[in-house]
Chains A and B, each alone.
Chain A
Amino acid sequence: MIADEDLPPENAAAALRLIDEQRATAARQFEPDPRTYYWPWGLAWLLGFGLHFLYYSPGDTPLVEMPSWLPLTVLFVLLTVAGIVTAVAGARAYGQVTGESARRGTWYGWAWGLGFLTLFVLAGRLSDSLPPDLVGLLWSALAVGLTGILHMAGGAIWLDHRLFLLGVWITMVNLIGTIAGPGWHALVVAVAGGGGMLLAGTLGWLRRRSRR
């Protein structure tokens, strides 16, 4: 067995093919599938914020009648599921690799955690003194804004221009929605934000397949 494998590749073309295939295989194993990173979040935003728009619509009456607890519950459940899927996929790909990128990943994870802790404490303190529609806008605009900025930071850390551009996109979408006001914000984030994430996952996946 070993003697066979010790043989050189048949010719230069075979050697180059072997190098390309092996590098692509290894890269696929060392990096998580982009779909597992973007699709669950994109879906959570699309459905969660979509329901928010239908219930807390601009104007006085909901566009679609539903139990008042439904939009927020759906959003939180889907966000939790997305978090778990991403964590499992990340552990699967990065769990057996150590070194600088593991350290970057860990610190980046801390930035997300502390960022959202800050957001919860701040928005929690302000929520009592604002009218309900502004409370909703406060929470979602802060959360989406933080997500956009952290995506931009991620792009800077890994010099990944796609990640950076997604961050810019989310930030712009959030700004437009915030200016448009309560209700509209949910619509813009659901369609353009969630859609952007679904698109980013699809593009990343296609790129990864073509690298084979």
Chain B
Amino acid sequence: MTELDPVIHAQARLRVVASLSALPDCDQVTFPRLQEVLGMTAGNLSVHLRRLEEAGYVAVTKTHRGRTPVTLIALTRRGRLAFEEYTEAIRALLAPADSKETP
């Protein structure tokens, strides 16, 4: 059995990464919007984002829109790759072991 990425293999962080993967490449979403999509508390989401940021899967940018500070979040290239590999590994676990042998 393949080792599943422990950073992503946790329900909450898997949901965060899956949501961010639905954004087009090179797009970022604001923190409150992501929070709304996930239905998580701000504190909760921050904890998971920090963990994902430490792994290099998520980029958190703090900037300003006019005078209001804005936090923007996006999946990094590495994060997208990790998510794709995780999804593939899950699919492989579900597929019957011999199905790959038949052309």
Could you list which residues of chain A lie within 8 angstroms of chain B, going by C-beta atoms? Answer: 1-2, 5-9, 12-13, 15-16, 18-19, 22-23, 25-27, 29-30, 96-102
Contacts and interface: CB of A to CB of B under 8 A. Distances in A.
A5 B48 CA distance: 10
A42 to B, nearest CB: 26
A26 B14 contact: no
Given A12-B93, A16-B90, A98-B27, A23 B12 contact: no
Nearest to A102: B27
B18 A22 contact: yes
Contacts of A18: 11, 14-15, 18
Nearest to A9: B11
B63 to A, nearest CB: 9
B36 interface: yes
B32 A25 contact: no
Interface of B: 4, 9-12, 14-15, 18-30, 32-33, 36-37, 44, 47-48, 72, 74, 87, 90-91, 93-94
B27 A100 contact: yes
Contacts of A22: 14-15, 18-19
Nearest to A13: B94
23 contacts: A5-B11, A5-B12, A6-B11, A8-B10, A16-B90, A16-B94, A22-B15, A23-B18, A23-B19, A23-B22, A26-B20, A26-B22, A29-B37, A30-B23, A96-B29, A96-B33, A97-B23, A97-B29, A97-B30, A98-B72, A99-B24, A100-B25, A102-B27
Contacts, number: 93
Q: Determine chain B's interface SS by DSSP, over half rule.
A: helix
Q: Determine chain A's interface SS by DSSP, over half rule.
A: helix
A101 B28 CA distance: 10
B40 to A, nearest CB: 8
B22 A97 contact: no
| Chain A CB within 10 Å, residue with most, of B18, B19, B20, B74 | B18
Contacts of B48: 5
Contacts of B24: 99-101
Contacts of B4: 8
Contact of A12 (B28, B37, B94): B94
B19 A101 contact: no
Given A2-B44, A5-B10, A13-B94, A26 B26 contact: no
Across chains A and B, which 10 residue pairs bring their CB atoms closest together, nearest first?
Answer: A96-B33, A5-B12, A99-B27, A26-B22, A26-B19, A22-B18, A12-B93, A100-B26, A96-B30, A27-B22
B14 A9 contact: yes
B90 A12 contact: yes
Contact of A7 (B11, B18, B26): B11
A22 B16 CA distance: 8
A25 B19 contact: yes
